Amino acid sequence: MSHDVSALQAELPELDWTTDGERLAVLSRDFSWFSPILKRALAGAVADIAVRPRDEAELTHLAAACARHAVPLTLRGAATGNYGQCTPVQGGVLVDMGGLNRLLWLRDGAARAQAGIRLGELERRLREQGHELRTMPSTFRLATLGGLFAGGFGGIGSITWGPIAAPGNVAGARVLSVEPQPQAVELRGPDALALHHNWGTTGIVLELELALAPAQDWHEVVIAFAGFDAALDFAQALAADPALPKRNVALLAQPLPAYIQRWEASFPAAHDAVVAVVASAALPALQALAARHGGRVTHQADSVDAQRRNHSVLELCWNHSTLHAMKTDPGLTYLQCSFSAGSHLQQVRAVRARFGDALLLHLEFIRSSEGALICTALPLLRYVDEAHLQGVVDGIRGLGVRVNNPHHRHVEDGRFGGTLPPEAAAAKRRFDPLALLNPGKLRVWPLPG
Ligand SMILES: Cc1cc2nc3c(=O)[nH]c(=O)nc-3n(C[C@H](O)[C@H](O)[C@H](O)COP(=O)(O)OP(=O)(O)OC[C@H]3O[C@@H](n4cnc5c(N)ncnc54)[C@H](O)[C@@H]3O)c2cc1C
């Protein structure tokens, strides 16, 4: 669907517009190619024009003009999302938020920044002052703060602080409405979370205020095990140990490690691997724990140094395993699962027993929003066809495990389990009354009745 955007350009000639077709096609893509289903569904979806506002005033003028001319607008952070979240399926204006990238303040263990700041840059600035992000995706080097809030979940750090939505992690958000006279509104605490993970359909996030963690010296470690059960027991023990400060605990069950290139030296053949990030001071305790479970440390590096050398386990964990494995074997795809508190280990073992090597198992241990220790999984599998994939999803669900199917293209069908929550619907009415934000991503809008 294409829109006449000439009136916008004529009205706002001073904005930084992009009209080149090839550039628009690139900007309109994210990592939805992880899914053959989404890749097909989103083929050809491209913005009519892109723009990079330099500040809040330019963005406000743009929102007003879009409202007056009924032109859709889709917000783009760094396009590292993996469901086509920032792909403008109904065309219109693609809004690059990267110009709004200022750290506004840092005090009393909290910070406020504009939504377009890259998380890697934010983390670097925070660490200079003795703080760090509580949670960030493995794409932190590129991904933006607004993109994490509107499209992501959490990731690195969630083993201690839970997901970004855990109460207390996000203190507030400044949100702009799309109307002929846009309103900028401050939302505090749970009110701000009404806009979380709505894929930019319920308001433009201008700024976010976050609670921070004290900065730590982190070490990255890989521990190899000659059996899945030992690796799982170790990962659970490490994740649960309150005396071992940690930033990530992941388990890559064999044969998955063999799909990850450039890490062969750390992943001995036919071994399961636990990939962990722990406080440097906790290394001796970690090594003792590993030895008790029969594990062997095969890699160890200071995390800042590892990132500088571009060889960090932070870019093996979370959805990075999908990226690495699909580079090795493009015929693979992935799922996202969440195991139940209290029975997560039994459920993991049941999945392993039921699917064996047909699922390349990658577990991530986290604290839930309620603080319970659980694990999630990003298993890889060979893509056959939609029916086969659905069969696997049904099989996993049959074991009582939640599957957030990542092969969908509507907000309601992932984390929300089929229906838009009432607070998200209220935010949509308040901040996007003309339904111009990222249209086509809400399966049902306007809501019936
Ligand atoms: C290899 C890989 C690993 C990943 N690992 C993780 C992980 O560990 N944890 C995790 O949570 N996710 C992960 N992701 C998904 C994604 O990288 C993150 O969610 C990331 O935070 C998205 O940020 P972004 O700036 O790229 O957002 P984009 O992809 O640009 O946007 C995401 C959504 O947010 C909306 N949006 C962007 N900015 C705003 C704004 N200012 N206001 C309102 N809406 C806005 C967009 O319209 C879009 O719907 C991974 C993806 C890949 C490909």
Residue 113 to residues 121, 206, 212, 284, Cα–Cα distance (Å):
11, 9, 12, 37
pLDDT at 415 over 90: no
pLDDT of residue 448: 87
| Closest residue CA from atom 37 of ligand 1 | 147
Dist. CA 393–CA 115, nearest whole Å? 34
* CB-count exposure of residue 331 (10 Å: 0-12, 13-18, 19+): exposed
Confidence at 416, pLDDT banded by 50, 70, 90: confident
pLDDT of residue 259: 97
**Please, are residues 412 and 421 in contact by the beta-carbon 8 Å criterion?**
no
- CA nearest 438: which of 414, 417, 409, 405? 409
Q: What are phi and psi of 249, to 5 degrees?
A: -135, 110
Confidence at 403, pLDDT banded by 50, 70, 90: very high
3-state helix, strand, coil in the chain (%, to 5): 35, 25, 40
- CA nearest 150: which of 167, 164, 168, 129? 164
Q: Helices 344-355 & 228-240, crossing angle to 10 degrees?
A: 160
pLDDT of residue 449: 75
pTM beyond 0.85: the answer is yes
Q: Mutate which of 39, 75, 145, 366 to test ligand 1's pocket (most atoms within 8 Å of Cβ)? A: 75
pLDDT of residue 4: 85
Dist. CA 299–CA 180, nearest whole Å? 57
Dist. CA 248–CA 155, nearest whole Å? 8
The angle at the Cα of 176, spanning 421 to 5, to the nearest 5 degrees, equals 105
Rounded to an integer, the average pLDDT of 126-150 is: 98
Residue 227 to residues 219, 286, 332, Cα–Cα distance (Å):
24, 19, 24
Strands 373-377 and 362-367: antiparallel
Tell me the per-residue pLDDT of 266-286, one tens digit each, with 9 for 90 and over: 999 999 999 999 999 999 999
pLDDT of residue 123: 98
pLDDT of residue 430: 98
Domains of the chain with CATH codes: 6-98 (3.30.43.10), 100-214 (3.30.465.10), 218-403 (3.40.462.40)
| Closest residue CA from atom 21 of ligand 1 | 148
| Closest residue CA from atom 28 of ligand 1 | 79
Q: Mutate which of 28, 33, 59, 76 to test ligand 1's pocket (most atoms within 8 Å of Cβ)? A: 76
Cα dihedral: 20, 22, 23, 24 (round 10): 80
Dist. CA 62–CA 76, nearest whole Å? 14
> Which residues of 177-245 form beta strands (DSSP E)?
184-188, 204-214, 218-225
Tell me the per-residue pLDDT of 347-374, one tens digit each, with 9 for 90 and over: 999 999 999 999 999 999 999 999 999 9
What separation in Å is there between the alpha carbon of 79 and the centre of ligand 1?
6
Query: Is residue 231 classed as helix, strand or coil in its secondary structure?
Result: helix
Q: Where are the alpha helices (DSSP H) in 293-406?
A: 303-308, 320-328, 344-355, 386-397
Tell me the per-residue pLDDT of 249-259, one tens digit each, with 9 for 90 and over: 999 999 999 99
Q: Where are the alpha helices (DSSP H) in 187-281?
A: 190-193, 228-240
- CA nearest 129: which of 144, 146, 114, 110? 110
